[in-house]
Structure 1
Amino acid sequence: MLLFEENNNWETKLLPLITKYKGKKHPLEYANTYQLMIMVILSAQDSDANINKIAPAFFNRFPTLESIKSISLEELYPYVSKVRNFNTKSTWILEIAQTLQTESAIPNNLNELIALKGIGRKSANVILRESNAPAEGIIADLHVIRVAPRIGLCPESKDGNKIEKQLMQLLPQNLWGEIGMAISFLGREICRPTNPKCNQCPLQNDCHYPLKTL
């Protein structure tokens, strides 16, 4: 038996989830789009909690994109050394600063964002969502990759881009801006990898996960 259904009125079924988390700020503790962009880049393969921890010192030293564009990598390293793959990420950040020059040049569309080093579709979708820009895709972070197939939205895959594409084909565009982050919060707070709190889930009546436990 298939544990996902391509046409099963998911738009209506997902409304309680979207209502629960609509507009909830991303766990990264940023103050503006510049900070969000830098933190999203640093958070790849790392935890939001770790990035939140190192961010205050980073932004105290580099309060604007302009303050980064003329420095050396060696000046950047002490502020990101506790971040995974900080050498590569520092190179990306410096290149972005030199390319954009000013914060006002940070793109507000998907294609221009993913053209920047270190920003893939997931990161770009986060930036667009948090900036209240029109959604051009769906956030597919590690939580979405795990939870979307579990609840029955799509087949299992470890490929975030594949999960995103499947969700975009399944769901109307008016849901794109919120559904990814809503599923992510669901995965963080309720639909945990082990011992999920199914009795607290707004999708408990439509989720396919209980079928796997029968």
Structure 2
Amino acid sequence: MEQNAYQIKNWIQKFQTLVALMLSSQTKDQITAEVMGRINSLGLTPFKFSKMSLKDIQNIIYPIGFYKVKSKYIYSTSNILLEKYDGDIPNNFKDLLELPGVGPKMALLAMKIAWNETVGIAVDTHVHRLSNRMGLVKSAKNPEQTRNQLESWLPKEYWSSINHLLVGFGQQICTPISPKCSQCLNTTLCPYFLENKPSR
């Protein structure tokens, strides 16, 4: 009985991990956390979401960014998970990508968080920007080009940590506008700083 309860808890956690990733896009972390707290307290599962109206789902996930579109993603994904995976989430990158609203970054993070498997580098806007700015990649035009270039030279043992490191750095120091170069320890190696540092 205990093992069965553990399996159910693990199954719900994996599903809610996927939902959290879907909701986090274009949404502040604090809002995502608040909404996920609501979802967790309600014990929402693919089965429960599949029985809800889109309006009910919207009311639960509001004020998530693009909540109307994401409510459709959650509803459709819940039904697919029930039909194809017995309510669990896919255990591979390819099948995760086929779920509505799930892109490469989300699928890779889901593989790492839910299945503890690192199969690629999750590239979001911060990783994409910093990789180009710091010369880690060469003129990558989109996150997938950045991912492919990073994976071509960065040892796999570092794939799971680079997202976490660069996201925090990009949020606090190497910001999109007016990066805080005076607080950065990488200035002697950074092409952006060397090209834009004030002349003496």
What TM-score, normalized by structure 2, do the two folds share? 0.79
Distance in 2, matches of 1:190 and 1:144, equals: 13
Larger radius of gyration: 2
User: For the structure 1 residues 161 and 76, does the alpha-carbon distance in structure 2 shift closer, same or farther, using more than 3 Å as the test?
Assistant: same
* 2:171 counterpart SS class: helix
**Matched letter for residue 56 of structure 1:** G
Partner-residue secondary structure (3-state), 1:140: coil
Q: How many angstroms does 1:89 deviate by?
A: 1.0
Query: d(CA) in 2 for partners of 1:156 and 1:96?
Result: 35
Provide the C-alpha distance between the structure 2 equivalents of 1:162 and 1:51, rounded to a whole number of angstroms: 28
Two-structure CA RMSD over aligned residues (Å): 2.4
Distance change >3 Å, CA 39–CA 167, structure 1 → 2: same
- Give the aligned residue type for 1:183: L
Greater displacement, 112-121 / 76-85: 76-85
Q: CA deviation at 1:55?
A: 2.2
Match of 2:31 in 1: 50
Specify which of 64, 84, 87 is matched with residue 83 of structure 1: 64
* Match in the other structure for 1:94: 75
Name 1:182's counterpart in structure 2. 165
As a proportion of its length, which structure holds more helix? Answer: 2
2:195 equivalent in structure 1? 212
**Aligned equivalent of 1:196:** 180
Deviation, 1:157, is 4.2
**What is the alpha-carbon distance in structure 2 between the residues aligned to residue 190 and residue 86 of structure 1?**
30
Greater relative contact order structure (CA < 8 Å, 6+ sep): 1
Find the residue that maps to 1:139 and give its secondary structure.
Answer: coil
Name 1:12's counterpart in structure 2.
none
AA partner of residue 174 (structure 1): E
> What's the CA shift for 1:96?
1.2
Gaps of 5+ in 2: 1-11
| Residues 1:160 and 2:140 aligned together | no
Structure 1, unaligned stretches of length 5 or more? 1-30
* Superimposed CA distance per residue, residues 69-104 of structure 1 (whole angstroms, 9 cap, x where no aligned partner): 222212211112322222221111111111112786
1:3 maps to which residue? none
CA–CA distance in structure 2, aligned partners of residues 121 and 142 of structure 1: 13
Return the letter of the residue paired with 1:149.
N
Structure 1 residue matching 2:49: 3-state secondary structure: coil
2: CA distance, partners of 1:103 / 1:142: 33
**Distance (Å, rounded) in 1 between the aligned partners of 2:38 and 2:174:** 33
1:146 aligns with 2:105: no
Contact 1:69 1:97 in 2 (8 A): yes
Secondary structure of the 2:52 match is coil
Cα distance in 1 for residues equivalent to 2:115 and 2:73: 25
